[in-house]
Structure 1
C-alpha cells in the first residue's frame, strides 16, 4: 500500500523495493479569502483599463448610455444618445465604404477579439502546446490585438520567452481548427511579435479575366493578376529573373501570357523584345507571330537562340563597363525577356548531351549576368527537383503554383516557406478553383504572398496577335 507523507518527509524514505512508487502530499498554505478577492478585483480592474485603452470607442458606446441614465434619467439619456446611432446609420447608407473602413472594421475586430479569439485563447494555446500549465498556473502567449481586413483577421501575438516562429509554424493546423478558420499563416513582424492571418473567405476563388493592356509602355511592374489582399499583383520582369513552377494544369500559361501581354506596348515602341522558347510546341506557338524571328521550338533552335541572347548580353556588358551599372530601356538597347516554357525539357530531359550542356550553360550565364544589362529570363517548369533544374537558385523571384508534394514547396520558394503558410500542395485540382493560384516569394521579402494570375484566353491571344503581330 502507498503511504501518504506530509511535506518533505519523502526524502528520508529508504525502500528495499526500487520499483515501489512513493506518493506524498505537499504542504498546503491557506490563502486568506480577502487576499484572493483583492487579487481578483485587481485583475478585473486591469482588464477594464486595458480594454478601454485598446477599444475606447467601443467602450464609450457601451458605457455612456448607462452612465447618463444613472445621472440624468432614461429620458435625458435617450435624448442625448439617440443622435449618435442615427448619424451612424445615415453615414452607413450614404457612404458605405468609408463607414466600413473607419467604423465597421473596428467594431468587427472588437467583436471577433472578444467572441472568437479571447474566449478560446487559453484552451487553444494549451492543447496546441504553445502555452504551458505549470504548477497550477497557465503561461500563455499574449494576445495583443486583432485587425480585420475585408478578407481576413490579422492577430498580433507576443510570444513567450524562448519561443521561436517555427514553434508556431508547426502548429498552423491546430490554430486554424481551434479558431474556426480554413487555414492560418504566420509572419514575424517584430522581435518577439508575430502576426497570424486567419482568412474568413477566399478572395481569389473566382477566376480573373485578362488584365487590360497598359496605357503606357512599361517594362517595370506588369499587372498579371490579383493579390489575396485585393491589390493588383505587379510582376517585376526587368532587373530580375522569374521562375514559375507548377504541376500540369496549374496555370503556368496564365503567368507567361499575362507577362507577355503587359509588355506588348513597350514592344510596339521598341523598348522591349520578346524571345520565346517553346519546346512543347503548345503554349507559346499559339501567338508565335508576336515573337517574329525570336521564336524557337526544336532543341537546336532553342540552343541557338539562347547563345544569341548571351552574345547580346556580353556585348552590352562590354559597352556598359565603367559607364553604368543599371540598364535603362531604350530603342538602341531594349529590354530583352527570354520566355521559356517547360525549361526542364531542355535542361534535364534532353538526350543530346552536348546540346543539353549548351542550353544549361547559356541559361546559367543569362541568370547570373543578364539582369544588370537588361536581359531577363521568365522560365516555367513542372518538376522543381534539383536534378531536374539545377540552376533554380539563380532566379531571384519564384512563383509556386499547385504542386504535387509538400516538399516541393520549399524546393521552389526556399526553406521554411511552407511552414509560413505557402500551402501550394493544397491548391484545388479543379481548374475553375485552383488554376493560376500560387504563392510568390520575392528577392526583397522572404514572406510568401498568395496571388492568382489572370486568365488570358485564346480570344485574347488572337486579339493581341492581330494588334501587335507586326510590332514584333
Structure 2
C-alpha cells in the first residue's frame, strides 16, 4: 500500500526499499479506526496529507484523515463507512439552572462514538452549510442547554432572523428579535452598547472576568443567516452590521457576550472575521472551497470532505469540526430537534419578565 501511494523511500546506494512502520491500530467504532504510523526520515505529515485520497482507495475506505501525533508519528483516521446511520435524539432538557452547564454543551456525536460537546460561555460559534444541511440543529442544541437559564434571567437571547422562517419560534423567549434591515442594525448596535455597559460595570467593580448572574446575564446573539447581513444584503444593512460585528466578536467574549452565526455560502466577503469564531462547524457544502472558508486553510486536504456529504435528508446534521489541539478535522453529527423538541424548549425557557422582552420586528 505505502509503495503504491509513493510513501516509501529507496536507499540511493543499496536500492533497499524502506517502508513506514505501523505502530498500532485502534478501532473506535465499526466504521472508524485509527492507524498510527512512524514516518521515515525525510517524510512529513504534509506528504501523507497529499496522499490521503490515494490512501483511501488503497484501504478501500470512504475517507482518510491525517493527524500529527508527535515527532515522526502520525495517525491515519480511516473512515470505512458512514458512522452516522441514525438520527441522534437530543437529551432531556436540564430541569433547573443548576443542572445546566454552558462549559460543555452537548451537540451530538463524533465519528469515534463519543459525545460531541463544546463550550458556549465565552465563545463564538460559526456554522456553515448548504440549504437543508441542518445548520440550525447546532443552534437548537445550544438553546436547549440554555433553557432554564433563559427562564431564570441568566441568559438573554438576541435573535436576528432575516429569513423570517424557522427561528420564528424563538420570539416568545427572545430578549430582542429582529427581521427587517433597520431593526437588525438597531439590534446589533444595542447589543454592542450592552457590551460597552458591561465593560464599565466590570471596571467599576474591579473585576477582570465575567460571572453569569441575573445582574450580568450571558447575552447570546444568534444570527440565522450571516451572509444576508454581512455580504449580499442591502448596502446600508451591510455597512451597519460590519461597523459593529468585528467589535462584538473581538471584545464581547470576556464581557458575557456570545455569538452563534449560521451561513449558507461562505466567502471572504461574508465572513471576513472567521478566525474570531472559536468553534467552526462545516456541514454539507456545495463547493470544495467552502470547506476551507469555514474551517480554515487546508482543512479539506486534511480530510474534511464536507462537499462530498450526500445531498439527502438522511445526511442532515453531518459535518466536520476541527480538533483544537491537533488541528485535525473530525466528522460529527448534530442531534435533531423536531417541532415537539422546539416547543418544549420554548415552554421551559418561557421568559418570566415579558415586559422586558422587545420584539424589535414583528
> 2-side partners of 1:446 and 1:183: how far apart?
17
Of residues 316, 320, 341, the one that matches 1:460 is 341
Match of 2:43 in 1: 163
Which residue in 1 is equivalent to 2:357? none
Tell me the residue number matched to 1:232.
115
CA contact (8 A) 1:399 1:413 kept: yes
Size of the aligned set, in residue pairs, is 346
Higher deviation after alignment, 458-467 or 229-238: 458-467
Q: How far apart are the structure 1 equivalents of 2:281 and 2:94?
A: 23
State the SS of the aligned residue for 2:3: helix
Cα 1:445–1:302, aligned 2, differ >3 Å: closer, same or farther? farther
- Is the contact made by 2:25 and 2:33 (CA closer than 8 Å) also made in structure 1? yes
Q: Which runs of 5+ in 1 are unaligned?
A: 1-123
The separation in 2 between residues aligned to 1:141 and 1:394, in whole angstroms, is 39
1:336 CA displacement: 0.8
TM-align CA RMSD: 1.8
Larger RCO: 1 or 2 (CA < 8 Å, sep 6+): 2
Larger CA deviation: 272-281 vs 221-230? 221-230
Tell me if structure 1 keeps the 8 A contact 2:173–2:349: yes
Asked if 1 retains the 8 angstrom alpha-carbon contact of 2:153 and 2:351, the reply is: no
Structure 2, unpaired ranges of 5+: 354-362
- How far apart are 1:455 and its partner, in Å? 0.8
Q: Deviations over 1:57-95 (max 9, x none)?
A: xxxxxxxxxxxxxxxxxxxxxxxxxxxxxxxxxxxxxxx
Q: 1:398, CA displacement in angstroms?
A: 0.7
**C-alpha displacement at 1:405, in angstroms?**
1.4
Q: TM-score, normalised by structure 1?
A: 0.70
Show the counterpart of 2:3: 126
1:444 to partner: Cα distance: 5.2
2:106 and 2:279 map into 1 onto residues whose CA distance is 16
Distance 1:311 1:444, change over 3 A: farther
Aligned partners of 1:276 and 1:339 also within 8 Å: yes
Deviation at 1:149, TM superposition (A): 2.4
Q: Mark the CA change 1:369 to 1:443 in structure 2 (over 3 Å): closer, same or farther.
A: farther
Higher strand proportion? 2
Classify the secondary structure of the residue corresponding to 1:218. Answer: coil
CA contact (8 A) 1:275 1:337 kept: yes
Question: Secondary structure in 1 aligned to 2:108?
Answer: strand
Task: Give the one of 173, 176, 186 matched to 1:304.
Answer: 186
The Cα shift of 1:235 comes to 2.3
SS in 2 for 1:230: coil
Q: Deviations over 1:393-424 (max 9, x none)?
A: 22122111111111221111111211221111
* 1:83-130 CA distance string (max 9 Å, x none): xxxxxxxxxxxxxxxxxxxxxxxxxxxxxxxxxxxxxxxxx1111111
Q: State how far apart, in whole Å, the 1-side matches of 2:168 and 2:259 are.
A: 18
Contact 2:107 2:116 in 1 (8 A): yes
Distance 1:178-1:352 versus aligned 2 partners, 3 A rule: closer
Q: CA deviation at 1:133?
A: 4.1
Distance 1:287 1:336 in 2: 15
- Normalising by the residue count of structure 2, what TM-score does the alignment of the two structures yield? 0.90
Cα deviations across residues 275-298 of structure 1 (Å, max 9, x unaligned)? 11100001211332121x411111
Q: Contact conserved, 1:211 with 1:258, CA < 8 A, in 2?
A: no
Partners of 1:314 and 1:444 in 2: how far apart?
32
| Residue 358 of structure 2: aligned partner | none
2:150/2:156 contact within 8 Å kept: yes
